Structure 1
Amino acid sequence: MTHINRKHTAALFILMIGIAMMFTACSQTGGGSNSGASGADSEGNAAPAAGGEAGKVLKVRFYDDPSGFDPASVFRIENENIAFNVFSGLTTYDSESGQIIPDLAESWETEDNKTWTFHLRQGVQWQKGYGEFTSADVLYSYERILDSATASPYAAEFNNVESFEAPDDYTVVIRLKDPDSNFLHVVANFHQGQIVKKEAVEELGDQFKWSPVGTGPYMFDSMKVNSEIVLVRHEEYFRGPAPIEKIIFSIIKDDDTAAIALQNGEVDLVMRINRQEALVRLQDAGFEMNALYDRAVNVKMFNTSIKPLDDIRVRQAWAHAVDWTGISEATNPLLESEAFNLLPKWMDVYTENVPRYEYNPERAKELLKEAGFENGFTITQHLNASNGVTDSDQLEQEFLKAVGIDLQFELVDAAVYNQIRNKGEFEVAGRQLPAVNPDMILFSYLHPDNIAPKGLNGARYNNPELTVKLEAARAEIDPDKRRELYAEVQHIAMSELPYIPLYSANGYWPGYDYVMNVTLNPLSQVNFYEVDINK
């Protein structure tokens, strides 16, 4: 483990990490040892999983209780991975580059980024006998998102739409109020862009989110509560049947337990490992890591509508009070790297010209005094119970305590955690911002139209100056002017800090080398249509 080379924090880190390692050691079972008995040979190399099923069956670790797969409400990466493979959008993403490519629309055109005409594939079949896909399905799906009765947190994604039209069964025309150079992302295979079937939604009612029907490469087969989710191949998928016939997602919440399951051959592939020690163990044992670096930025969200977090100086003091880089280096060097912005570094409009908040506890105390909190204050952060209070959380708590901020943690289950964040009913919370389109982050988390519960702006942030620049950036056709406007938006956001970027997250899906073509796209999703097994 890498330790921080700072005299004033070394003792603290050593103490906290030592305690964490003690608890980790006490909680491990004998099966968690790094011996060759658990699915590895005498030299520690990965051993293949046991077979026996007819056809190709892939066993994948799923890391939390599912919360539903309806595109109108789907949330969190593990659920989005299911939806991404069950549904389709008009467009989708190339797994390697993240570039927009055709999906249900085989082509499209626009002259002004304001009127978009999509030409749909013909002969696309819905899963489970619901007939042929047509333009009526597109209009129904989008209008359902906008229907207030649906209460979709993604409704604001269509705020710029003037009208949806279907001149015939295989053409969709979407007219926007203002030009949007990023609009192809809005109709992509993600959240509001995923197309549903009216008859399936109406027949299944509240159960649709637990039994989704799409046009994607895999069909939802079954689910056992707290146990597994099963997808089967959609034989009539428009690109042809997928190589793998069945995917069994085993629900294993604990990362160490998931690593042991992989080593024992109980699963072939692990959807996400976020524990440093488990990753090192699997890497040393020779498993394929299937990594994506700088995939998304993790942020701390402040509810800016409550005191004392409505004061910019308090939020800036929080940023200065914590040695974020030191914590990452000490606890998760494989999983994290520095982040100074809300956008990931690879995005074409990303800028480094933003305010940075170096570790400076004296400056933090000055800012708190200026804000009238010389004696500090107490605040609560909600955490997902499945992750618990991590070493990073404890270290942050100690840094904040040193400047007078008493950070308390409240653990809730995943469903409640999602609800709290989506409704904006928290003081402090965390979130990851996976995105390909910059507007998935900047509009979703900064624009007042998206203030929770209408959208993902859980910070309840509203700055008219930023809003004007953000809307101008989306409408701007000239790429250089567009980048300049987006840079100004990022500068304002990082000056006022409704969100603190904590670190840039690396993603790993460890698995056996016979599981081929596992590629994480920039949304941290895997297109299982491309995955194959070759034992």
Structure 2
Amino acid sequence: MKNSVLGLAGLLAVACLSGAALAQESVLRVAGNGDVSTLDAHRASATNDKTVVGWIYNGLVRFKPGSADPQEIEPDLAERWETSPDGKVWTFQLRKDVKFHGDWGTLSADDVVYSLQRSADPKRSTFSSDFAAIEKVEKVDDLTVRITLKYPDVNFLGRVSNYHGGHIVSRKAAEELGDKFGTRPVGTGPFSFVEQVTQQYVKLAAHPGYFRGKPKIDTINIRVIPSDSARELAFTSGELDLMYGKREQRWVDSARKRPGFNVEIFQPGEFRLLHINRSQPPLDDVRVRRAIAAAINVDDLVRFVGKDVGPKGCSVVPPGYLGEDCTARYAFDLAKAKALLAEAGHKDGITVKAIVSNISAQQPFMEIIQAQLAKAGIKLEMQVVDHATYQSQTRKDLSGLVFYGAARFPIADTYLSEFFHSRAIVGTPTAATNFSHCAIADKEIEGARTAADSATQKALWKEAQAKIMADVCAVPLFELRQVWARSDKLDFGYDLKGAMNLAPMLTEATTLKR
């Protein structure tokens, strides 16, 4: 009998210890507003993709956690670097013993060379145009990489940061997994990929070999909850610790009054442009495009978004970017819009079709634009679809108007190259996000990259913006800043002012109280 009692006590002790260990596991519960389409760092351009990618990978350098300021770039996988006097040769010294996730080995110069060559390859990267300045990437030794540029690039450190094509991947994993790499990513970041169930969740785990130390959070569960109300209900009921918020001033003001809602508004904002597809009639007539620009009252959109969340834009280059020029502006003028349509032979109006995402960061604004255009005799037929379908269909050149928001490294070249250079026209081998088929300023965009001095560079950027605005390739709208809500239990471990992956960075210092 005594042995039986002792045996039972032992079992209970083991059970208690197991329960205690389980209770101590730190699980961060996150919700985004859409599915993750790829976790291949060199393909991931959608907001939901970028969120998770930012937690998985590192760059040679990184934005300081909590910052989107290029002046606060600091060492990441490279512990130091040197630049030649002419600014064309950069030599990076890598950290020793940086471990990739899982059993994929240790980072070496081979991985860096492979990653940057992959980033520059339009067949394997969405961001190939960002690396046009690179002439060659060489391994000096196992921990040293030398990059030679064709010309000095003022944005170079940004290109090799923990952002877009600057993410470093495992060469061995990328080559062995091939097309499957986007669903089985391997990086060096604080969190590693565990599994994904489409339209349901993505699961990450702490990387025990992370070179800055194992994260204090053990597991991250990122749920897909497209509905704003459902996401908010889950947060309010305690099912979530961090969620993608509603980017409207009314929601922000209301949420701030509720207990447990810590609303974070941070940069960079995703700059909203309305791209006009110049390849589709009647949009191939510049008078029609000018009519659309004159019919849109951007001030109404900004009032809807709110002062904290959506400052107004004035050029096709986002507010605050180096090189932004607001000399050429569009003014709301309904009478002018009607007159331009009549001059173009459309006195009875026109019909334009647009594919629109159903997410709250797009559909409500397109509905406002739809009502505004109607007053000028422009009927906008909107096909509202889920966000993944919108991303796919707009890249197949099926939409007359494309409402698109993006945050990029804050320099004019990144936006001009990705949205307004002919190499980026959708449907082409080098396609990025030139939905308008704009090809009016290639000479100026390219010239600015190789300019001998900053004054010449800025002058060329100014000329490029003037040409693009005159041709009405797109209508500038507003910058939509990032809005997330966190519970009182979550501490990022830094002061959040900005995040280039458009979501709060989760690092080894992030903690969660239970």
The interval holding the TM-score normalised by the smaller chain is 0.7 to 0.9
Counterpart contact for 2:295–2:334, Cα < 8 Å: yes
Aligned positions of 1:379-390 closer than 5 A:
379-387=352-360, 390=363
2:410 — aligned with what?
A: 437
- For 1:101 and 1:323, locate their aligned partners in 2 and report how far apart those are by CA, in whole Å: 41
Tell whether the 8 Å contact from 1:294 to 1:337 is kept in structure 2 after alignment. Answer: no
Counterpart residue number, 1:461: 438
Distance 1:221 1:53 in 2: 20
1:387: Cα distance to partner?
A: 4.5
Q: What is the root-mean-square deviation in Å for CA atoms of aligned residues? A: 2.4
Instruction: Say if 2:390 is the partner of 1:417.
Output: yes
**Structure 1 residue 191, shift from structure 2 partner:** 2.3
Corresponding position of 2:109: 135
Match of 2:512 in 1: 533
Structure 1: distance between partners of 2:230 and 2:186: 32
1:407 matches 2:383: no
* C-alpha distance in 1 between matches for 2:266 and 2:121: 36
| Residues in 2 aligned to 1:373 and 1:103: alpha-carbon distance in whole angstroms | 57
The answer (yes or no) to whether the contact 1:228–1:250 under 8 Å persists in 2 is: yes
Q: Residues 381 and 103 from structure 1, CA distance in 2 versus in 1: closer, same or farther, beyond 3 angstroms?
A: same
Picking from 326, 347, 356, the partner of 2:329 is 356
Q: After alignment, is 216-225 or 198-207 more displaced?
A: 198-207
Are 2:236 and 1:263 equivalent residues in the alignment?
yes
3-state SS of 1:502 partner: strand
Percent identical: 28
**SS across alignment from 1:129:** coil
Deviation string 1:149-200 (CA, Å, 9 cap, x unpaired) is 53x3322222332222112112222222232111222222222221211221
Distance 1:168 1:123 in 2: 14
Task: Give the deviation of 1:293 after TM superposition.
Answer: 5.5
- Give the Å deviation of 1:523: 4.8
Cα contact 1:88–1:104 (8 A) shared by 2: yes
- 1:265-344 alignment to 2 at 5 Å? 265-275=238-248, 277-286=250-259, 287-292=261-266, 295-330=269-304, 335-344=309-318
Amino acid paired to 1:442? L
- Is the partner of 2:240 in helix, strand or coil? coil
- Deviations, residues 27-46 of structure 1 (Å, cap 9, x unaligned): xxxxxxxxxxxxxxxxxxxx
Deviates more, 1:312-321 or 1:472-481: 472-481
Alpha-carbon distance in structure 2 between the residues aligned to 1:431 and 1:376: 25
Aligned to 1:239: 212
Matched-pair contact (CA < 8 Å) for 1:295–1:523: no
| 3-state SS, counterpart of residue 336 of structure 1 | coil
In structure 2, relative to structure 1, the CA distance for the partners of 1:83 and 1:330 (3 Å cut) is: closer
Distance 1:137 1:211 in 2: 17
Given the alignment, which residue of 98, 119, 128 partners 1:124? 98
Conserved? CA contact 2:205–2:220, under 8 Å: yes
- Matched-pair contact (CA < 8 Å) for 1:354–1:495: no
- Give the equivalent residue in structure 2 for 1:251: 224
Question: In structure 1, how many angstroms separate the alpha carbons of the residues matched to 2:135 and 2:365?
Answer: 46
> What's the counterpart of residue 86 of structure 1?
56
Check whether the contact 1:77–1:524 (CA below 8 A) recurs between aligned residues: yes
User: Who is 1:524 aligned against?
Assistant: 502
Cross-structure match for 2:481:
506
CA contact (8 A) 2:68 2:267 kept: no
Contact 1:273–1:510 (CA under 8 A) maintained in structure 2: no
Contact conserved, 2:39 with 2:182, CA < 8 A, in 1? yes
- Name the structure 1 match of 2:202: 229
Cα distance change of structure 1 residues 105 and 372 upon mapping to structure 2, 3 Å threshold: farther
8 A contact 2:35–2:48 mirrored in 1: no
Aligned partner of 1:193: which letter?
G
Q: Which runs of 5+ in 1 are unaligned?
A: 1-51
Does the CA contact (< 8 Å) of 1:296 and 1:522 recur in 2? no
**Displacement of 1:147 after TM fit?**
4.6
Are the structure 2 counterparts of residues 88 and 293 from structure 1 closer, same or farther at C-alpha, using a change threshold of 3 Å?
Answer: closer
Q: What do residues 99-122 of structure 1 show as CA deviations (whole Å, max 9, x unaligned)?
A: 222221222222223222222222
The Cα shift of 1:253 comes to 0.8
Partner of 1:199: 172
Aligned to 2:69: 98
- The question of whether the paired residues in 1 share the 8 Å contact of 2:438 and 2:468 is answered with no
1:251-306 Cα offsets, whole Å, 9 max, x none, are 11111111111111110111232355543432220421111166231111112222
Q: CA deviation at 1:53?
A: 4.1
Deviation (angstroms), 1:494:
2.6
Q: Following TM superposition, by how much is the alpha carbon of 1:412 offset from its aligned partner in structure 2, in angstroms?
A: 2.7
Alignment match, 1:77:
47
The structural deviation recorded for 1:534 is 4.2
Relative to 1, partners in 2 of residues 1:279 and 1:456: Cα closer, same or farther, differing over 3 Å?
same
CA distance in 2, matches of 1:231, 1:76: 19
Give the residue type in structure 2 aligned to 1:168: D
Deviation at 1:328, TM superposition (A): 3.1
Q: Which amino acid aligns with 2:136?
A: S
Structure 2's unaligned 5+ residue stretches are 1-21
Displacement after TM superposition at 1:382 (Å): 0.6
SS in structure 2 of the partner of residue 167 of structure 1: strand
Distance 1:285 1:205 in 2: 47
- Residue aligning to 1:16: none
TM-score w.r.t. length of structure 2: 0.87
CA distance in 2, matches of 1:133, 1:297: 35
Q: Separation in 2 of the partners of 1:388 and 1:215?
A: 32
SS of corresponding position for 2:402: strand
Name the CA shift for 1:500/1:161 in 2 (closer, same or farther; >3 Å).
Answer: same
Secondary structure of 1:406's match?
A: strand
CA change 1:293–1:184 in 2 (3 A) is: closer
SS in 1 for 2:30: strand
